[in-house]
Amino acid sequence: MSHREDSEFWDLYTKDRERTGRLHRRGDEMKDGELHLVVHVCIFNSRNQLLIQRRQPFKKGWPNMWDLTVGGSALAGDGSCETAEREAWEELGLKLDLSGRRPNFTVNFSNGFDDYYIVRQDVDISQLKLQQEEVRCVRWADREEALLLQRQGLMVPYWFLDKLFDMGDLPEYDAHGDRRRWISVDFADLSCLHSWMSLAEIVKENFPGLETEEALEDYRRTVVKNMERGSAICALDGRMVVGMLLFSPPKSMISCMAVHPEYRRKRIAARMVELMRTKLNGGRDIKVETFREGDEKGRAPRAFYSAMGFVPGELTVSLGYPTQEFVLHN
């Protein structure tokens, strides 16, 4: 948190979590019965490792100790989700979208409520921008490593740390109680090829040039080459490929991207693009070709690329089909 303590104010709440309309200035002593909101985010990767941060040695609370991914107090006017997103951005430079999310659990303490959000994301920690006032370094830790740090007195003593890993490994559920598996996103290898081509069969109508068996076989050879040189990314539900992306580092270009129809609107495409960007030259524009405006097939991809910050570029033709270039300027 980068705010000066003497200029940071918190909302005060009743025991029923209703705002009282009164404010508390950080650093001042809280009176009996005054309650405020604290939020933590716990990020687990697909290996159920927890992203932990080491606090700076000059911090007043728990100096030089390992802590959960991010956390902090809600500023006046901010809600729980907003605070979680802000803390991730300020402390790690990590953009999270928690809109519509409720905390996974809440711990009551003497001066307030502590909301905990569990996020499943394969974050590339080499790309994080650490807030020097707060964070000394970060690392991934599995259950045994985190508990050992705690036993050694090197990690903040959360009494539920062991149970937290159980929660990180649980499947998510939607509003109807249906199980939503953890979707992992990583660079693809040849073990994914069969399932990759099965997805290609499902989405081939959206890709001009993949209409024939011969074209699919040419595409298969292209996929193999990309897998071997590390420029193929897939999203996996278990062993099933539900998202795929091919890219060209020399051209700084997305060659092909698709998500299974049953897995769309789950940020899978965004996560694949984020992973791809870790392998591209950060100073170069990123390009992709998609359908032109007015083409029904282009509604979803054009909206996606626009949301990711791409802007329309030159009109092009790909395999005889009218397309348009979209560019992400860096």
**Domains delineated in the chain:** 5-173 (3.90.79.10), 183-328 (3.40.630.30)
Judge contact between 97 and 85, C-beta under 8 A. yes
97's tokens: 């979208």
The percentage of the chain sitting over the pLDDT mark of 70, rounded to a whole number, equals 94
| Residue 108 reports pLDDT greater than 90 | yes
278's tokens: 């870790």
| Residue 102 reports pLDDT greater than 50 | yes
Mean pLDDT within 26-38: 93
If one compares 161 and 206, the residue with the highest pLDDT of the two is: 161
Each residue's pLDDT tens digit, 178-191: 445 568 899 999 99
- The DSSP bridge partners found for residue 244 are 234, 258
pLDDT of residue 169: 60
pLDDT of residue 6: 54
CA 90 from chain centre, in angstroms, equals: 15
Q: In the predicted model, what is the mean pLDDT of the chain?
A: 90
Judge contact between 238 and 224, C-beta under 8 A. no
| Residue 277 reports pLDDT greater than 70 | yes
Q: Report long-range pairs for 314-318 (Cβ below 8 Å, ≥24 apart).
A: 316/289, 318/208, 318/209, 318/289
pLDDT band at 4 (very low <50, low <70, confident <90, very high): very low
- Rounded Cα distance between 80 and 120, Å, is 18
| Residue 176 reports pLDDT greater than 70 | no
Q: Is 0.85 surpassed by the pTM of this model?
A: no
Mean pLDDT within 22-28: 93
pLDDT of residue 170: 58
pLDDT of residue 177: 44
- Rounded Cα distance between 218 and 206, Å, is 17
Mean pLDDT within 235-258: 93
| Residue 284 reports pLDDT greater than 80 | yes
Q: Let me know if 262 is exposed, middle or buried by CB neighbors in 10 A (0-12, 13-18, 19+).
A: exposed
pLDDT band at 166 (very low <50, low <70, confident <90, very high): confident
108's tokens: 């009551």
pLDDT of residue 210: 81
Q: What is the 3-state secondary structure (H, E, C) of the chain?
A: CCCCHHHCEEEEECCCCCEEEEEEECCCCCCCCCEEEEEEEEEECCCCCEEEEEECCCCCCCCCCEECCEEEECCCCCCHHHHHHHHHHHHHCCCCCCCCCCCCEEEEECCEEEEEEEEECCCCHHHCCCCCCCEEEEEEECHHHHHHHHHCCCECCCCCHHHHHHHHCCCEECCCCCEECCCEEEECCHHHHHHHHHHHHHHHHHCCCCCCHHHHHHHHHHHHHHHHHCCEEEEEECCEEEEEEEEECCCCEEEEEEECHHHCCCCHHHHHHHHHHCCCCCCCCEEEEEECCCCHHHHHHHHHHHHCCCEEEEEEEECCEEEEEEEECC
Mean pLDDT within 138-159: 95
| Residue 32 reports pLDDT greater than 70 | yes
CA 83 from chain centre, in angstroms, equals: 16
Each residue's pLDDT tens digit, 293-327: 998 888 889 999 999 999 999 998 887 889 899 99
Mean pLDDT within 244-266: 93
